[in-house]
Each structure stands twice: as C-alpha cells, then as structure tokens.
Chains A and B, each alone.
Chain A
Amino acid sequence: MPLRRFACPLLLSMAVFIATDVQAGEIWVTNEKDDTVSVIDADTLEVIETYETGERPRGITFSKDFSRLYICASDSDTVQVMDPNTGRILHDLPSGEDPEQFVLHPDDRHLYIANEDDAITTVVDTETRQVVAQIDVGIEPEGMAVSPDGKIAITTSETTNMAHWIDTDTKELFANTLVDSRPRHAEFVKDGTQMWVSSEIGGTITVFDVATQAEIAKISFEVDGVHPDRVQPVGFEFTNGDTHAFVALGPSNHVAVVNAETFEVEEYILVGRRVWHMAFNADRSRLFTTNGVSGDVTVIDVASRTPEKSIKVGRFPWGAAFRPKPE
C-alpha cells in the first residue's frame, strides 16, 4: 500500500513532465531591419539566441522535421537554408528577385516563393536546388498558401489586388479572383475547403469556397478609437480545429479574434505597434505576434485572449515560425 501511494504521484509528476516536455518549443522571428533571426523560448518567454541572416529577412518556415529553416532574405535575392541547431547557413536556394513570402508544399520539397519586385511566383526544388517553374502573377506578389492536398497554390498580388490560383501539377494559373486592396496573406482552412485572404488597405478578409473559387464571406474589422483606415489586416493564424482566426491588424496595434463559423469578430487584443505576423506554440495555448514598429513580440494567452508579455527582439520583426525544442 505505501508503495502504491508513493508510485501514483510519481507517475503523475512524470506525466506532467512528459507533457511539458512535448510542449516545449521555440518561436523564430525574422528581424527585417537587423538582418537577424531571434529565437524565443516559448516557455520562459526569453530570447535565447540571435542568428545572422541575409539582408532584409521576412518570410520564415521550417521543413517538416524541423531540421532545416528556410528564410526569405529579400534584399539578398535568395532563400537561405539554415541549420536551426547551429544557426549556420547551409546553403542558398535560387529564389528569383526579392523573395518576400513563401510556402512549403506538403511534399516537404518544393517551395512556392512570391517575388515581390518581379510579379512572379517561383517554384524551387529544395533538394536539387533548381528552379522548377516561374509563373507570371500580378504586381507585388506577397501572400502564399498551398492546399493541404498540395494541389492548389495561391499567390496574392498587392497592387493587382487578386488571389491567383495555381495548379501545382501544371504550374499554371487556373483562376484569378479579385479581392480588396493590397492583399497580404492567404491560408487554406477547414481541410482545404476554404481559403482566406487578408486585404491590408481594403481592411477586410475575403473567404473563398475552394471548390468554386467563389467568395462566401467578407470579414470587416472595427477597433474602438482607431480610424478605420488604420485597421489593416495582415497575417492570421487559426486555433485548434480552425474554430477561430487570430488576425494581425497592422497599425491599429490590435489582433482580432474571428469566429471562423459565423465570421463575426469576437474580440480585439491590444499588442505592440504595427503587428505583422504570428505563430502559435505547440498546443496553441499561446500566440506570438511580431510588432514591426515597436520591435517586440507580444505573447497572447489564447484561452483568456489577453496579452501576457512583450519580448524585445531585433528591429522590425516580421515573420514568425514555431519549432519543438530539440532534445
């Protein structure tokens, strides 16, 4: 009996230990005007590393197994591949000029890159390090998304104001849909049945039905005490089960919480200045937003929808990505 009484708490504490261990992670943030990435411990909320990158790093994403980090070094006109365990740049990938954002295809091999200055989307094979295709899109392509089944890639073009639908087999456009001014970010949700696009100057998110490319909803935002012109949706991410979207609203310095069923905004959370993009921790209990002008990252407690902490990073933090903490 005494043994059992002893064993239970031990097992319990081990379970807790394992659970927190699984959740442990890092948030990697690109600092656009410092040419660095900051690594934030997602539990202690401290910056634990800062690594140098090429010029003007913006988009950032990990390979599936988190062994490689891809960084859009916009002004170096390249995508850099970093070993996240050492911070060493392994090699560069040909990316076309001025890569701003990209998305990794579910095949874990092909990067779809928006070349902002060239009105082109470049597809790069990360294994052969060759350009596979270049696709003409509208002016200032930026937002990139790929459907979960890998069949459709999206590029949004900021000045043409369109979402361009790319057939990933043929590498050709099969649809072009107008959205409001300056589309910045795109995401597939709900198992790839919906595609959302944010429009920075239009101040809206357009929701498309993927099967028909038809617009099914338009989400607007209204922040108390902030002129509508300053409410500029940029990056957004979805909570577990895609029930809610957290939307960065740029110079309004707020993040909106949108109900993804009703398309109603439920809440606005005050963050740092000119909020760009964001990343969740492992269990999506915390959200980390990059605040360009204030040079910090706001940590939001997702359950209570309250800002928890500001973490100082480099100058003009832009992109954010999560990886589990290595052993």
Chain B
Amino acid sequence: MFSLKLQTKVLLPPASLPATLLTGRKTVRVITALWMILICGPAWAVDLSVHYIRVETPTPPTLSNLDPIPDDLGLAGAQTALDDNNTTGKFLGQTYALDITELSPQDDVLGAARAALAETPFLILDAPSDVQLAIADLPEAQDALLFNVSAETPDLRSDACRGNMLHTAPSVSMRTDALAQFFVTRRWTDLAMIFGTYEDDRLFADAMRVSLQKFGISEPAEKEWAFDADMRRNAAQEVPLFTQDLGDYDALIVADEVDDFGRYIPFNTWQARPVAGTEGLTPKVWAPVVEQWGAAQLQSRFTEAHGRDMASKDYAAWAAVRTLGEAVTRTTAADAPTLRAFILSDAFELAGFKGRPLTYRGWNGQLRQPIPLVHSRALVASAPLEGFLHQRNELDTLGLDKPNSNCTAFED
C-alpha cells in the first residue's frame, strides 16, 4: 500500500516548496492512512490479490524490426490498474496485490495455474486460447474468476466459452465489425484484401469476411501474401505488381496480425487507394492517439510509470484489474462468486476512458467497449459509429450479439 507512494513525484520545483511542507505532507499522508484504517478497517477492510499468468507465445520472424514488442506488454497495464485500485483502496481500507508468473509453453503451465489458484481465485490470463481453456477447465478453477486479456478467438465467446472466464480483450470480430461500420459510413463498399499465412492473419481475414457480410458489403477480391523476400529492399517493386491484378477497389484491407509485411503496403499499391485492417486505418483496443474522454490522463499516468506508450494488451489487463477494483469498491466483498455476480449485473459499470460506461455481456462474459479506429497520427473514428443502432446497447453492434453466440455457460 505504501510502496505505491514512492512513485508519487514531487509536484513543484523544490525552490518553491518549503522543506517543512514536504515533511508535513508525508506526515499528513501517514496519519490520514492510519486514520482511515482505524475508522474503516474493521467494517470494510478487504484484501484482494490477483495473479497474472503469462505464457510466452513465440513470435514469428518479421521483415522489419522497427517496432520491438515491450517485455512488460500487458503486465504494465495490470500494474497501472493495481496502483489505481490501491489509491482508491486507501480511502476504504482496501488493499490490492499483484503476483506475476511468466512461463514458456514448455513449462508446466497447469501446475503453475494450480499453484496460483491455491492462493487466489482471481487470475489474469495472457496466453493462447487453448492454454486458457485448459486452465479454465481445471477442477481448482471452477469457482475462480479468470480474465482473458489476450486471446481474440471468437470461439472463446461462443461454443468454447467458459462460465468462469471473462474477456477484456475484444474478439477479433469486434475489431473487424468496427472497420466494416467505417466502410459503410464512408461508402467504401468495393474492397480488396491481402492476408498473411499465420493463424492470427487467417483469424482476422475470416472475421473480416463475416463482418463485411454482416454489414451488407460484398465479398472482397483477395490474395494471399506468400512472399518471403525482404521487403525493405524491394517493396517498391514487388507490391505494385502484387496488387495490380486486384482490379479497382475503394480500399485495400491488410490482414497481417503478426506485423510482417503490412508496413510495406501503403503507398506501394498499384491503385492509389487507402489501406485499412492491420495497417493504415486500424481498429484497436487502445492506441497512443486516443486522448478524448480523459484518456490523456490514463496515457500520461501509464507513460510516466512505464516509460512507453500504452498498448492494446496493456489496456485489456488494466480493464481486468480495474474491473475487480470497481466490483470490490461497490460490494466490499472479495470472494469470486459475489464479484462475478456483481460484474455481470446491471449495477456494474467501468469508466474506461472510452466515452461510455463499460459493461460485460451477460451471455458470454465479453467486455463491451468502443473500438477506436486509428492511424499512427490520429484517431479517425470510434465505433460504434453514428447510425448503427441496437435495441439494447449500441456497443452490441460490435462482435457476437446474443443471438449469434452459442455460449450457454452463463445461463445460471
């Protein structure tokens, strides 16, 4: 609880701040904290610990090394949310702790999960979907509450859903639906698509096709990217030829989730057309260009603490830990069944710096959230876009709506 305070920086240039004041502040802080514990301790004191399990996924080689993946991707978001929770908690006598286990796929992941579940029922899972399912199916996990912060597989929100697993990562369909809404709004209805050969690329391309159909856009002309040449040297020669036989189109969709070739597509296409998908205009959970709705504050808090921009997985991990914090604050409970019931109820809402309260879908445990459509320099739009209506919640125009999900694990 107090270790957090070490991060609080001095606010004013020392010259303008008398030394006594600095001392005074520290004293005030301790007294206030003690006072809060004395007053609130017996009735409200709650300790909650969260265990973050990360299973490294091997990243395939890519053409460029321009954007290295941060080592603390996801973890830094959880840490920021932990700090947020503890700041609130100090006024309520609530403390939060975060444990981290990092594993490689060869390690005994299930053994590590069992050990974590022996300590706390609250796990953050940053792992491939099959690993997450294996953890969710452990007997020890049946009364636990797991948060998926990484896997975007739609199946996890449908046939393969688990009642003990909530998803703060969006399904890839939520992102492709956001892009499809943008195409409809701009009347870019004649599309072409290039997709990579990795599983995640195909997942994105599949979801994109479903989204286009969902919003009444005809099938795109398609090509698979199967080159293995080094595009830093000859993108200018290769890409025009590669895209020449796609014919004419309004926009080119790139499905390159592993960030292999996508960066060489813009400005090199045969037709002078905008690029969208995983390159150009991209649907994301979070990006440095998101600044409205108080997002600038979260961004600067994050950057100050971790020395880099906040990424989508950081946001998903932040949302998971903040979800628990919000539920504990409102219920003063710390047991998984109470918190799960509250999180899935109408009473729950999370202020997620996206302009709307974030809630969970009662039919598959997916966090409802707006999807920013961004390029590297600015926010272009935020889905759901204006005019896409829904009988219940406009956010449910993104991803698997109740009738489209085969999930039954939440029907209790």
Q: For the complex, what is the distance from the CA of A178 to the CA of B44, rounded to whole Å?
A: 13
Decide yes or no whether B19 CB sits under 8 A from chain A: no
Which B residues are CB-close (under 8 A) to A158? 294, 297, 351
B351 touches A115 (CB 8 A): no
- Residue of B29, B351, B356 near A161 (CB, 8 A) is B351
Q: Which residues of A contact B393 (CB under 8 A)?
A: 227, 229
**Assuming the A-B contacts A117-B300, A131-B16, A159-B351, are A96 and B92 also in contact, with contact meaning beta carbons closer than 8 angstroms in the complex?**
no
Q: What is the CB-to-nearest-CB distance from A179 to chain B, in angstroms, rounded to a whole number?
A: 11
Instruction: For B294, list chain A residues within 8 Å (CB).
Output: 140, 158, 182
Q: Is the CB of B87 within 8 A of A230?
A: no
Which of A135, A162, A201 gathers the greatest number of chain B CB atoms within 10 Å?
A201
Which of B16, B87, B356 interacts with A94 by CB under 8 Å? B16
Instruction: Give B298's nearest chain A residue, CB to CB.
Output: A159
The answer, yes or no, to whether B214 is at the interface (CB within 8 Å) is: no
Is B63 among interface residues, defined by CB-CB distance under 8 A? no
**Is A134 an interface position by the 8 A CB rule?**
yes
A63 to B160, CA, bound (A): 63
Q: Are B21 and A134 in contact (CB under 8 A)?
A: yes
Residue-by-residue, is B91-126 near A (CB-CB < 8 Å gives 1, otherwise 0)?
110000000000000000000000000000000000
Contacts of B300 in A (CB 8 A): 117
Given A122-B11, A176-B92: A201 and B87 interface contact (C-beta under 8 Å): no
Determine if A307 is an interface residue (Cβ-Cβ < 8 Å). no
Q: How far is the CB of A150 from chain B (nearest CB, A)?
A: 20
CB of A148 within 8 A of chain B?
A: no
Cβ of B25 under 8 Å from chain A: yes
B357 at the A interface (CB under 8 A):
yes
Chain B residues within 8 Å of A171, by CB: 28
A237 on interface, CB distance cutoff 8 Å:
no
Chain B residues near A131 (CB-CB < 8 A): 12, 16-17, 21
A201 CA / B330 CA spacing, docked (Å): 15
Assembly CA distance A162 to B325 (angstroms): 14
Check B8 for interface membership: any CB of A closer than 8 A: yes
Pair A118/B297 contact, Cβ less than 8 Å: no
A178 CA to B40 CA in the complex, in Å?
Answer: 14
A96 to B21, CA, bound (A): 13
- Residue B84 CB within 8 A of the other chain: yes
* Interfacial residues of chain A within 193-232, with CB under 8 A of chain B in the complex: 200-203, 227, 229-230
Within 8 A of B (CB), among A14-37: none
How distant is B225 from chain A, measured CB to nearest CB, in Å? 39
Does A54 sit within 8 A of B, measured CB to CB?
Answer: no
Check B357–A139 contact: CB distance below 8 A.
no
Q: Taking the complex as formed, is A295 at the interface, i.e. its CB lies under 8 A from any CB of chain B? A: no
Q: How far is the CA of A118 from the CA of B329 in the complex (A)?
A: 21
CB of B91 within 8 A of CB of A162, answer yes
What secondary structure prevails in chain B residues at the interface with A? helix
Contact yes or no, A119 B8, CB < 8 A: yes
B244 within 8 Å of A by Cβ?
A: no
**Would you give the 0/1 interface string for A90-130, flagging 1 where the beta carbon is closer than 8 Å to chain B?**
00001011000000000000000001111110100000001
Across the interface, do B88 and A139 meet the contact criterion of CB distance under 8 Å?
yes
**B13-46: which residues lie under 8 A (CB-CB) from chain A?**
16-18, 21, 24-25, 28-29, 31-32, 36
Q: A140-B294, A161-B329, A172-B28 are in contact. Are A181 and B88 (CB under 8 A)?
A: no
Q: Closest B-chain residue to A134, C-beta based?
A: B25
Contacts of B355 in A (CB 8 A): 251
With the chains together, A203 CA to B351 CA distance in Å?
A: 11
* B12 contacts A227, C-beta separation under 8 Å: no
Contact for B87 among A117, A119, A130, CB less than 8 A? A119
Residues of A contacting B32 in the complex (Cβ-Cβ under 8 angstroms): 136, 172-173
Contact across chains for B349 and A202 when beta carbons are under 8 A apart: yes
The complex places the Cα of A228 from the Cα of B329 at a distance, in Å, of 23
Closest beta carbon of chain B to A282's beta carbon, Å: 33
B394 at the interface (CB under 8 A from A): yes
Residue among A117, A160, A162, A180 with most chain B CB within 10 A: A160
CB-based contact A181/B351 at 8 Å:
yes
Report yes or no: A229 in contact with B357, Cβ–Cβ below 8 A.
Answer: yes
- On chain B, the residues within 8 Å of A180 by CB distance are 349
User: Do B29 and A136 touch across chains, with their CB atoms under 8 A apart?
Assistant: yes
Q: Are the CB atoms of B350 and A181 closer together than 8 Å?
A: yes
> Nearest chain A CB to B124's CB is how many angstroms away?
19
Question: Is there contact, CB below 8 Å, between B84 and A139?
Answer: yes
Interface string of B275-302 (1 = CB under 8 A from A): 0000000000000000000100100110
Given contacts A131-B21, A161-B329, A201-B357, contact A96 B12 (CB under 8 A): yes
User: B208 CB to closest chain A CB, in angstroms?
Assistant: 27
CA distance A94 to B351 in the complex (A): 31
| Pair A138/B88 contact, Cβ less than 8 Å | yes
Are the CB atoms of A120 and B11 closer together than 8 Å? yes
Give a binary string over B237-251; 1 marks a CB under 8 Å from any A CB, 0 the rest: 000000000000000
CB of B350, distance to nearest CB on chain A (Å): 7
Q: Are B297 and A117 in contact (CB under 8 A)?
A: yes
Could you say which residues of chain B place their CB within 8 Å of the CB of A182? 294, 351
Mask for B334-348, Cβ within 8 A of A = 1, else 0? 000000000000000
Do B12 and A160 have beta carbons less than 8 Å apart?
A: no
Q: Which of A119, A203, A229 has the most CB of B within 10 A?
A: A229
Q: How far is the CB of A304 from chain B (nearest CB, A)?
A: 30
Chain B residues, CB < 8 A from A118: 8-9, 11
Q: Contact at A201–B16, with CB atoms within 8 Å?
A: no
Interface string of A137-166 (1 = CB under 8 A from B): 011100000000000000000111110100
A96 surroundings in chain B (CB, below 8 A): 11-12
Asked whether, in the complex, the Cβ of B28 is within 8 Å of the Cβ of A135, the reply is yes
A116 touches B297 (CB 8 A): yes
- Minimum CB–CB distance from A157 to chain B (whole Å) comes to 8
B330: chain A residues at CB < 8 Å are 178
Residues of chain A within 8 A of B9, CB atoms compared: 118
User: What is the chain B residue whose CB lies nearest that of A162?
Assistant: B91
Which B residues touch A178, using CB under 8 A?
329-330
Give min CB distance, B168 to chain A, whole Å. 17
B297 touches A230 (CB 8 A): no
- Asked if residues A140 and B11 are in contact (CB atoms below 8 Å), the reply is no
Q: How far is the CB of B177 from chain A (nearest CB, A)?
A: 18
**Residues in chain B within 8 A of chain A (CB atoms):** 8-9, 11-12, 16-18, 21, 24-25, 28-29, 31-32, 36, 84, 87-88, 91-92, 294, 297, 300-301, 326, 329-330, 349-351, 355-357, 393-395
Q: What would 15 A/B residue contacts be, using CB atoms closer than 8 Å?
A: A94-B16, A97-B11, A118-B8, A119-B8, A122-B11, A136-B28, A139-B87, A139-B88, A158-B297, A160-B91, A161-B88, A181-B349, A229-B356, A230-B356, A251-B355
Which 7 pairs between the two chains have the least Cβ-Cβ distance?
Answer: A181-B351, A176-B91, A160-B88, A201-B351, A229-B356, A182-B351, A96-B11
